Amino acid sequence: MTKKLIVIGAGMAAGRLLEHVTDNQPETWEITLFNAEKRGTYDRIMLSPVLAGDRTYPEIVTHDDAWYGERGITTRFGERVTNIDRAAQTVTGEDGVALPYDKLVIATGSKPFMIPLPGHDLEGVIAYRDLEDTERMMSLSPGQRAVVIGGGLLGLEAAAGMAARGVDVTVVHLMGHLMERQLDEAAGFLLRKSLIDKGISIRCSTNSKEILGENGQVRALRLDDGTELPCDLLVMAVGIRPSTALAKAAGLAVGKGIHVDDQMVTSDANVLAIGECVEHNGALFGLVAPLYDQAKVAAQTLAGQDAAFVQKELSTKLKVTGCDLFSAGDFQGGEESEDIVFRDPARGVYKRLVLRESRIIGAVMYGDTADSGWFFGLIRDKTDISEMRDTLIFGPAYQGGTSVDPMAAVAALPDEAEICGCNGVCKGQIVSAIEGGATDLGAVRSTTKASGSCGTCTGLVEQLLSVTLGADYAAPAAQPMCGCTDLTHEDVRRLIKSQELKSMPAVWQAAAFKTPDGCHVCRPALNYYLLSEWPQEYRDDPQSRFINERKHANIQKDGTFSVVPRMWGGITTSDELRAIADAADKYNVPTVKVTGGQRIDLLGVRGEDLPDIWADLGRAGLVSGHAYSKGLRTVKTCVGTDHCRFGTQDSTGLGIKLEKVLWGSWTPHKVKLAVSGCPRNCAEATCKDVGVVCVDSGYQVGVGGAAGMDVKETERLADVPTEQEAIDVTVAFIQLYRENAKYLDRPYKWIAKVGLDWVKARVVEDLAERQRLIDAFALSQSIYQKDPWAEHARDRAESFQPLASLHQEAAE
Amino acid sequence: MTTWIDIGPLDAIPLRGARKVTTAHGCVAVFRTAANEVFALDNACPHKAGPLAEGIVHNRAVTCPLHNWVISLESGEVLGSDEGQVATFPARVEAGRILLDAARLVARPSAA
């Protein structure tokens, strides 16, 4: 015996409901489906990709006439329901015939809210709700103008979609920042910035006053400050209101929406309601996930099963390519809540987690949402995060232990989990691409487009490759810094920056070090990263330095040291040479050698004698040559115009100036410079970290040369006309290297990673950035540019002596 | 019998640092760890006799400055894939002073 089921509305909730009903109770119901729109069910949230041209309408249809036909459902599309008679249990359509029901489901959805501004009924003023609205926006030609009122999710998707079609779009938003319901101010700012980059004009804190028309057609929007924004189309996307008129007329209990209980039953036991038209425990629904839950519960209720709808945490993503944002839970915080914030201004990344009582209650992310699924899970499951709090914000990849193994996390994701937010690619698509032969990142990118846009999900895609292919996948290995931590140099450096870690113990804590205080590999690197990031706050730790930098001399194989005084640009005097000769005699220096960098090396000095020999050399005006440091070593020069008949510029003078600016700075590895006075290049400038070759028209500044384990010619960074500019470019380059290179990467290795163009953009082309680099270097030099020899001879001479001598005691 | 000799204040050695003490038979390196423990070892790496007192101290180990051999301060054993042994000597801290066992140091055979 079949019962009669009538469903009003064929939106996404109704489509899903009828799927469940016909799957689970195929013979039970005789179903009639009314829909005011002239079509079946389509994925309304995919209208934005249709608008942007990323999808077509047929691709987003989920249940068409044929589908309903196969399921034996009578469809009355394009027909409104005029009356519900609950006493008689009938529904009347436009044909005036009362149709009986045993059960009725109201799924009338919602209507866009139109602000009743003067002129809101003009032709060309639309909402953003259905395919007609979408098609209307798609009909605009490049160069035409559109105004969108409302900077929420829908408004921005409409704006981005039209802008992608070349339409000149302005968004007018009443509130102070975009998407204020989903984003905090910081994320709203980043979103605004990327939309502006897409050519969209954004006006926040702006009130609309009147819509102006001409011959019944919209012409412009007038703001309350009098500004007129001309437009060919005006889209209002300021929110939706549940469609409750029919239910209200039928006498059902209606508040903001149609009241339903946990079983989705209205105040009438034979009438259910689902979707955007309902109100459940005071809440309204606009996102698809709870609608689908409601559809499932309603289907179970119809089948006489026990089921209850439970409101869950919701998350939001914006479907605009290149604007990766994610928001979930309560991000307003409150008194008892704490924040963890991560910012990377260079990449435009912002992440904020709101915690209360060791649980995440809200998350906002912008620019990098790769871990959003994981965070959302923690919010939904109310996971206690106190154990991983310090590295929480870095996502599952940074959590130790097996319970949060990122591979397991990825493996556990459902097939429909979205991996690539930019291109809307979910896990299932990627896995089938991999199984279909796309066995590396490039192949997955070209077949699915996953990670092909902003690239923030690259790590996830690689994990999927690894999970799917197992041992067959050779991951590009990210080497951890050392055995003390799983993090790479880059990770640790990012941590130091983002968490403002200013001491070694803070880094050990935050980077989840497995050792109590690091090792000889990581400690010197950490010491460098900290002092280069926080020159004013961090205090250099000599105990984390290799002996050469701790004792400011190079240790030799027999435990003695070598001493190399600085000779600016390789220039010396007879007085300096005399002082060096005297020191060599006084301290019985066995070997005196001229170095490759145009200095004199005193080899075989006893450790105990170092402070004394430094003091003696210091009296002659000689300072440390830093021949032992990861820092500026030497600037080698030729004699240039002073003496040479081919010299084009004062290469010696420039070399001395460069050395005077750069000496004493700490860098990721040693840095050697040279300045040649003409292209004959006698100073061998083209195999140095920075090499300047003087020419008639100025200075050719090359970088990234090497003449050690690798031999490499410099690449041209810039040709500059003046000596000052050659110095500026060099200093800015060194500072960029200091800020970004991995410890123990010489400049040529670093450049190979970031690309010379990236360096040029900052050092040569962006003059503001060049100046910032120069200023940052100067700040660091104000602290670190001092002669360590003088300092040690004066203050720390005692530490070079044995702590005790037990000869006497032994003799006694 | 142990004869403790006061060789100086604990503060004379930096945290995660070392100083050497000369004896009639050669140098002894005295280490201070982050936890304020002290250890005394022969100041010569079993590899190429590198001066261990100049190495980087981490946890209860020191890395030789010449070729990065890592030596346990507790046992004197070479850690990791290398093999070797360094002589160790009793050392302790009392009232902020470092004490070494004089008898052992005087009695020890000349450095190998």
Q: What is the pLDDT of residues A575-595, one digit of tens each?
A: 999 999 999 999 999 999 999
Q: Is residue A475 over pLDDT 70?
A: no
Cα dihedral A762/A764/A768/A774 (nearest 10): 90
pLDDT score, position B111? 41
Sign of CA dihedral A713, A719, A722, A724: negative
Write out pLDDT tens, residues A779-809: 999 999 999 999 999 999 999 999 998 875 4
Q: Do B58 and A804 touch (CB under 8 A)?
A: no
A328: helix, strand or coil: strand
Of A154, A158, A156, A237, nearest in space to A190 by CA: A156
Q: Is residue A282 over pLDDT 80?
A: yes
Question: Which residues make Cβ contacts (< 8 Å) with residue A694, sequence separation at least 6?
Answer: A640, A647, A648, A649, A651, A654, A675, A676, A677, A678, A700
DSSP A3-29: EEEEEE--SHHHHHHHHHHHHH-TTTE
Per the prediction, chain A carries an average pLDDT of 89
Q: pTM value? A: 0.53
The verdict on A520 touching B (C-beta cutoff 8 Å) is yes
Q: Do A516 and B19 touch (CB under 8 A)?
A: no
What pLDDT band is residue A570 in, cutting at 50, 70 and 90? very high
Do A479 and A488 contact (CB within 8 A), yes or no? Answer: yes
In single-letter form, the type of residue at position B107 comes to: A
Share of residues in chain B with pLDDT > 70 (%) = 93
pLDDT score, position A617? 96
Shortest Cα distance from B38 to chain A (angstroms)? 14
- Return the H-helix or E-strand segment holding A733: helix A723-740
Residue in B closest to A798 by C-alpha: B12
Share of residues in chain A with pLDDT > 70 (%) = 95
The verdict on A806 touching B (C-beta cutoff 8 Å) is yes
A197: helix, strand or coil: helix
Q: Do A547 and B54 touch (CB under 8 A)?
A: yes
Q: Which residue has the higher pLDDT, A617 or A498?
A: A617
* Mean pLDDT lowest among A435-444, A517-526, A538-547, A599-608: A435-444
| For helices A788-795 and A610-619, angle between their N-to-C axes, nearest 10 degrees | 120
Cα separation, A654 vs A644, whole angstroms:
15
Share of residues in chain A with pLDDT > 90 (%) = 59
Strand order of the β-sheet with A125-127 is: A125-127, A233-236, A145-149, A168-172, A201-203
* A475 secondary structure, DSSP code: -
Do A422 and A324 contact (CB within 8 A), yes or no? Answer: yes
Q: Of B54, B63, B69, B71, which to mutate for an interface test with A (greatest number of A Cβ within 10 Å)?
A: B54
The first and second tokens of residue A263, run together, are 């079983």
What's the average model confidence in pLDDT over A411-436? 80
What pLDDT band is residue A476 in, cutting at 50, 70 and 90? low
Parallel/antiparallel/unpaired status of strands A74-77 and A29-35: parallel
* Mean pLDDT lowest among A231-240, A673-682, B52-61, B99-108: B99-108
Q: Is residue A636 over pLDDT 80?
A: yes
Shortest Cα distance from B67 to chain A (angstroms)? 10
What's the average model confidence in pLDDT over A596-616? 96
* A762 secondary structure, DSSP code: I
Q: Is residue A729 over pLDDT 60?
A: yes
Cα separation, B103 vs B3, whole angstroms:
6
CA distances from A713 to A632, A689, A695, A702 (A): 19, 10, 18, 9
Q: Is residue A378 over pLDDT 90?
A: no
A-B contacts (CB, under 8 Å): 97
Write out pLDDT tens, residues A121-138: 999 999 998 889 999 999
Q: Is residue A273 over pLDDT 90?
A: yes
What pLDDT band is residue A439 in, cutting at 50, 70 and 90? confident
Shortest Cα distance from A551 to chain B (angstroms)? 9
Write out pLDDT tens, residues A492-549: 888 898 888 888 888 887 777 777 888 999 999 999 999 999 999 999 999 999 999 9
Name every chain B residue with its beta carbon within 8 A of the beta carbon of A803.
7-8, 12-13, 19-21, 30, 98
What pLDDT band is residue A333 in, cutting at 50, 70 and 90? low
Shortest Cα distance from B71 to chain A (angstroms)? 12
What pLDDT band is residue A425 in, cutting at 50, 70 and 90? confident
- What's the gap between Cα A94 and its chain centre? 54
Write out pLDDT tens, residues A658-698: 999 999 999 999 999 999 999 999 999 999 999 999 999 99
Q: Do B66 and A555 touch (CB under 8 A)?
A: yes
What's the average model confidence in pLDDT over A748-760? 92
Do B74 and B91 contact (CB within 8 A), yes or no? Answer: no
Q: Is residue A182 over pLDDT 50?
A: yes
Cα separation, A598 vs A96, whole angstroms:
103
Cα separation, A488 vs A495, whole angstroms:
11
What pLDDT band is residue B106 in, cutting at 50, 70 and 90? low
Residues 551-590 of chain A with CB under 8 A from chain B are: 551, 555, 557, 559
Name every chain A residue with its beta carbon within 8 A of the beta carbon of B68.
520
pLDDT score, position A4? 95
Name every chain B residue with its beta carbon within 8 A of the beta carbon of A515.
58-59
* Mean pLDDT lowest among A199-203, A318-322, A441-445, A580-584: A318-322
Q: Do A516 and B59 touch (CB under 8 A)?
A: yes
What's the average model confidence in pLDDT over A233-247? 93
What's the average model confidence in pLDDT over A317-329? 76
Q: Do B16 and A544 touch (CB under 8 A)?
A: yes
pLDDT score, position A710? 82
pLDDT score, position A334? 62
Name every chain A residue with its beta carbon within 8 A of the beta carbon of B56.
519-520, 523-524, 543-547
What pLDDT band is residue A620 in, cutting at 50, 70 and 90? very high
What's the average model confidence in pLDDT over B40-53? 94
What's the average model confidence in pLDDT over A768-780? 96
